[in-house]
Structure 1
Amino acid sequence: RAVWQALLLIFVPLLPVLNLGQISQEEYLVFDHYLYLSVAGFGYIVAIGISTLGTFKSRTERTQLAGFRRPGLAIALFIVIALGFTVAAARENRPWADSYFLWSNVARVRPTYWAAHYNAGLALLNARRFDEARASLESATALKPDEPNVADALGRAYDGIGDVSRAVASFKRAIGINPDMFESYNNLGTVYFKNKDYALAELNFAAALRLKPQASTSRFNLGLSYARQGRYTDATRELEQVVQATPRDAEAQYELGLAYERLGRENDAVLVLKRAASQATSEELASRIDASLTRLNSAGHQP
């Protein structure tokens, strides 16, 4: 009876996952971590075997093996097996040390699985290992050329290594695959902004905002794009919305203060810059705010 219980523990947990590859398009569902519960059955069988060995008595109860009676042998076997499983488990857990080790191991085992290369690339991007990320994401792109998230991540890798033209092309390809790729519009705008192409940056940040009007970062970047083009009225409109949505954003308040100053609204500029100074969390930003306030105060502008 106990053996049948063990067999049930092995096979019953497998039933829900036997057909996942056919009922779902998501390949994550058939990874081995869905199969671990059935190991309980194997453990149960081993325990039954050891218990049986411990209670079994030979025809001559005084028979000894290597100085142990049967119960002693059972205990020794249990310790050996437990240590063996402990060592094996430790070795198997090494690929789970972090996200990169996990997915690079999956990519090694299943080199044709695009998501393994993609996730390894994301882990490398997070670690700012851009050239290695590029290699992983190029492999993912070759395997899954119609996946916009892969194209977007590859664009970030190209941007990280300073390959602007390929970064732009990759972000555009992501948008071509999925015109609703908010992240790619925002990333493309950032690349253009860093390269001082503010008109194209404006177009892409505006496109990102059409998809996610609540995205304060995109709105802030749009305001900066307007300001860098000398369109301070437009910049003020966007930056005021950012400050309203995120009232403790000292950087946004600083940029809004500069826009007010450019529009001749010096008193408003002093007010918002003082508020920014009280909320600045970095010395570099605090220094810039202080310089702007000194400039305005020296010109005799007081709120």
Structure 2
Amino acid sequence: MDKNTQAINYMKENKFEEAAGIFTEIIEENPEDPVGYVNFGNLLLHINDLTRAQRFFEKAIELDEHVATAYYGLGNLYFEQSLYPKAQENFQKAIDLGLLESDVYYLLGMTFQHQEHFKLALPYLLRATELDPDDEEALFQYGLSLAQSDHITDAKPVFESVLKMNADHSDAHYNLGVISLFNEQLSIALDHFDEALRIQPDHFLAANGKKNVEEAMSENDK
């Protein structure tokens, strides 16, 4: 087992001091290799030492401006601080340099989501779901971006697919309730709001949706 693998295994076991010791050795032995700095940056990011993490990612880029994983690390760092335009820039750079994994597309999509650029989020979240079809959260966020972009008809089967993966996804039920309410399917909407509240009793939006449906039904009965 090489040192990088050993250090990463320590990180997975939450043995951060041991991992840091090995990453330090790797950097001392290969001070011109950016990979050691990226890995140490990832460790620092994991323990929320953002200032030092940034220095390590930037050092990796200084050594080799084509290291995609260093830009991905910076993207994560800025994302954690809600600096979404900076995160967006770095995730895009990572993709441009060939990092074509589900996570980077998902997080790039989420930078647009958080800036309420819902239509711009769509292609990246869709790509994330294509690269990792089992990623429940990416699929849900793709459905949410569709709904927020007024593609209600397209959003419905996406939320239904989320429920096939996780029948207890309260937010998927809530959004299906909203879509059903939009389509004037009051009883179906009520069922989804009830399910959302069964799963998450403090789901304020579902409670409000249920109240609106019950009021509409009461009006219809008059």
**TM-score past 0.5 threshold:** yes
Deviation digits for residues 256-299 of structure 1 (CA, Å, limit 9, x no counterpart): 22222222222111111211211127x4xx23322221221122
- Structure ranking higher on relative contact order (CA contacts 8 Å, 6+ apart): 2
| C-alpha distance in 1 between matches for 2:204 and 2:22 | 43
Confirm whether residue 264 of structure 1 aligns to residue 184 of structure 2: yes
Q: How many residue pairs get matched?
A: 209
Q: How does 1:97-136 map to 2 (within 5 A)?
A: 98=17, 101-102=20-21, 105-106=24-25, 109-110=28-29, 111-136=31-56
Supply the distance in 2 between the matched residues of 1:230 and 1:30 (Cα, whole angstroms): 50
* Alpha-carbon distance between aligned partners in 2 of 1:258 and 1:128, rounded to the nearest angstrom: 37
Q: Does structure 1 retain, via aligned residues, the 8 Å contact 2:84–2:114?
A: no
The letter of the residue matching 1:299 is A
Hey, what does 1:138 align to over in structure 2?
A: 58
1:162, CA displacement in angstroms?
A: 4.0
Residues 4-26 of structure 1, C-alpha deviation per residue, up to 9 Å, x if partnerless?
Answer: xxxxxxxxxxxxxxxxxxxxxxx
Amino acid at match of 1:102: G
Query: Structure 2 counterpart of 1:279, which letter?
Result: I
Judged with a 3 Å threshold, the aligned counterparts in structure 2 of structure 1 residues 100 and 287 are, in CA distance, closer, same or farther, namely farther
Q: In the aligned structure 1, how far is the partner of 2:44 from the partner of 2:3?
A: 24
| TM-score where L is the length of structure 1 | 0.61
Deviations 1:94-132 (A, max 9, x none): xx6536643663466344342332222222322334333
Q: CA deviation at 1:215?
A: 2.2
Alpha carbons 1:202, 1:222 under 8 Å: kept:
yes
For 2:58 and 2:82, locate their aligned partners in 1 and report how far apart those are by CA, in whole Å.
16
- For residues 1-303 of structure 1, the aligned pairs below 5 Å read 29=2, 98=17, 101-102=20-21, 105-106=24-25, 109-110=28-29, 111-178=31-98, 180-280=100-200, 283=202, 286-300=203-217
5+ long unaligned stretches in structure 1: 1-27, 34-95
The alignment's C-alpha RMSD in Å is 2.7
- The answer to whether the Cα contact below 8 Å between 2:69 and 2:99 also exists between their aligned partners in 1 is no
Q: Kindly indicate whether the alpha-carbon contact (under 8 Å) linking 1:141 and 1:147 is maintained by their aligned counterparts in 2.
A: yes
Q: What is the deviation of 1:224? A: 0.7
Q: Which deviations, in whole Å up to 9, do the C-alpha atoms of 1:160-189 show, x marking residues without a partner?
A: 334433322211121112263221111110
Larger CA Rg, structure 1 vs 2: 1
Matching residue's letter, 2:2: L
Gaps of 5+ in 2: 7-14
**Displacement, 1:157?**
1.0
The 1-side partners of 2:47 and 2:58 are apart by 17
Counterparts in 2 of 1:228 and 1:138: CA distance versus 1, 3 Å: same
Deviation at 1:220, TM superposition (A): 0.7
Assess if the C-alpha contact under 8 Å between 2:3 and 2:22 holds in 1. Answer: no
How does the TM-score come out when normalised to structure 2? 0.81
Contact 1:257–1:273 at 8 Å: present in 2 too?
yes
